[in-house]
A and B are shown apart, each in its own frame.
Chain A
Amino acid sequence: MKKELKIYTLRYFILIIIFFSLIKSTDFFKKIYFLNTYGYSARIAKNYSFCKKGSIPFLHFLKKKYKLNQKIKTIDYDINPSPDWVLFNLNNDNIYKDKLILLNYRRQEKIQFLKLKKGLFVSKKKPPHFLTIKKAIFSTNHNINKINVEISNRVEGLIEILFSKDFIFKDQSKEIDLNLDLEQQNIRLGKLFIKISNKENNLKNIEEIQLIVVPNYDLDNFRILKKVDNCYFLERLS
Chain B
Amino acid sequence: MTEIFQIFLQILVIFIFCYFPQYYLNFFDLKQQSIIEKISLGVMVNIFILLLLSFSNQKNFNLVYIVLIIIFCNNLFFFTIENWGFKLFDTKLIFLFFFILVFSFDLANNLKLGWDPQNFWFFKTLNFIQGGDIYNLKNIPRPDYPHLGSFIWAIYTKISFLKLEYLGRIFYIFFYCVSIFSVAELLKHDDIKKILFSSIIIILTYDVLLFNGYQEVLIFSIFTLFSKYFYLIIKNNISKSVINYYIIIILLLFLCGTWIKNEAMFFSFTSMLLILCLPKKSTLFRLSIFFSFFFIIALRFLIFKEIGLDISTIHGANYENLSLLNLGSYLGIDKILLIFKYFFFGLASNLIYIIATFAMIFMLYYRKNKTDLFFYFTSLILNFLLILSFYIFTTQPIEWALKVTIERVTFEVLGIYLIPIIIFINVYSKKIFKI
Contacts and interface: CB of A to CB of B under 8 A. Distances in A.
Interface string A1-28: 0000001001110110011001100101
B435 A43 contact: no
B111 A47 contact: yes
A26 B192 CA distance: 22
Interface in A80-125: 81-85, 88-91
A90 B137 CA distance: 11
A88 B119 contact: no
Contacts of B116: 81
Contacts of A35: 3-4, 7, 105, 108-109
A104 to B, nearest CB: 16
Nearest to B400: A189
B22 to A, nearest CB: 27
Interface stretch (B121-129, B246-254, B412-420): B121-129
Interface in B173-201: 192-193, 195-196, 199
Contact of A11 (B108, B113, B126, B192): B192
A32 B196 contact: no
A218 interface: no
Contact of A19 (B98, B123, B127): B98
Nearest to A45: B111
Nearest to B190: A11
Given A83-B118, A155-B397, A156-B397, A89 B105 contact: no
A19 B192 CA distance: 13
Main DSSP-derived SS at the A contact region: helix
B397 A91 contact: no
A156 B403 CA distance: 13
A85 B118 contact: yes
A82 B119 contact: yes
Interface in B140-165: 141, 164
B111 A15 contact: no
Contacts of B122: 85
Contact of A31 (B105, B113, B118, B123): B105
A15 B99 CA distance: 13
A36 interface: yes
B115 interface: yes
Contact of B164 (A40, A85, A155): A40
B123 A54 contact: no
A26 B7 CA distance: 16
Given A15-B192, A22-B99, A91 B131 contact: yes
Interface in A36-53: 36, 39-40, 43-44, 47-48
Given A89-B130, A189-B400, A15 B102 contact: no
B112 A47 contact: yes
B29 interface: no
Given A35-B105, A40-B3, A47 B397 contact: no
B118 A28 contact: no
Given A23-B102, A83-B118, A156-B397, A11 B1 contact: no
Contact of B4 (A23, A36, A88): A36
B5 to A, nearest CB: 10
Contacts of B320: none
Given A31-B105, A40-B3, A90 B118 contact: no
B103 interface: yes
A48 B99 CA distance: 26
* Most B CB within 10 A of own CB, among A14, A22, A28: A22
Chain A interface category by residue count: 35 or more
Contacts of A43: 108-109, 111
B112 A22 contact: no
A54 B115 CA distance: 10
Contacts of A54: 118
Interface in B1-54: 1, 3-4, 7
Contact of B196 (A7, A18, A31, A39): A18
Interface string A43-81: 110011000001000000000000000000000000001
B109 A31 contact: yes
Contacts of B105: 26, 28, 31-32, 35
A85 B150 CA distance: 14
A44 B108 CA distance: 10
B110 interface: yes
A34 interface: yes
B209 to A, nearest CB: 12
Contacts of A88: 123, 126, 130
Nearest to A29: B105
* Most B CB within 10 A of own CB, among A26, A32, A85: A85
B131 A14 contact: no
Nearest to A34: B109
Given A18-B196, A90-B131, A11 B435 contact: yes
B196 A14 contact: yes
A237 interface: no
B90 interface: no
A7 B3 contact: no
Contacts of B111: 40, 43-44, 47
Nearest to B196: A14
B398 interface: yes
Given A26-B106, A36-B1, 7 more contacts: A12-B192, A22-B99, A26-B105, A28-B105, A48-B112, A90-B136, A158-B397
9 contacts: A12-B192, A15-B95, A28-B102, A31-B109, A35-B108, A40-B3, A47-B110, A88-B123, A90-B136
Top 10 nearest A-B pairs (CB, nearest first) are: A81-B118, A90-B130, A47-B112, A31-B105, A11-B192, A156-B397, A155-B397, A18-B199, A81-B115, A31-B109
